[in-house]
C-alpha cells in the first residue's frame, strides 16, 4: 500500500508541474487560470494527505511492534 501512495504522490507532482506549464503567465488573474489554480490546490492537498497517511501508518506500525515486546 505504501508503494501505491508513493506512486500517487509522484503522479500528483507531475500533474502540478503540468499545470504550471499550462498557466497563462501574461495574465495571472483567477478568471483566466481558475482551473489550473484549483487543480494545483487539489493536488497539493492530495500530496499532503498521502504524506500524513504514510506517517500515520509508520506510527501505528511502531506502536504495534512496541506492544509485542
pLDDT band for position 69 (cuts 50, 70, 90):
low
pTM over 0.75: yes
DSSP 1-69: -HHHHHHHHHHHHHHHHHHHHHS-TT---HHHHHHHHHHHHHHHHHHHHHHHHHHHHHHHHHHHHHHH-
pLDDT at 1: 84
What mean pLDDT do residues 2-12 have?
95
pLDDT digits (tens, 9 = 90+) for 23-66: 999 999 999 999 999 999 999 999 999 999 999 999 988 887 77
Amino acid at each position: 500500500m505504501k508503494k501505491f501512495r508513493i506512486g500517487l504522490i509522484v503522479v500528483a507532482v507531475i500533474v502540478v508541474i503540468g499545470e504550471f506549464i499550462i498557466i497563462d503567465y501574461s495574465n495571472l488573474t483567477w478568471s483566466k487560470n481558475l482551473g489550473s489554480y484549483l487543480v494545483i490546490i487539489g493536488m497539493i492537498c492530495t500530496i499532503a494527505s498521502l504524506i500524513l497517511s504514510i506517517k500515520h501508518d509508520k506510527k501505528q506500525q511502531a506502536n504495534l511492534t512496541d506492544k509485542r515486546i
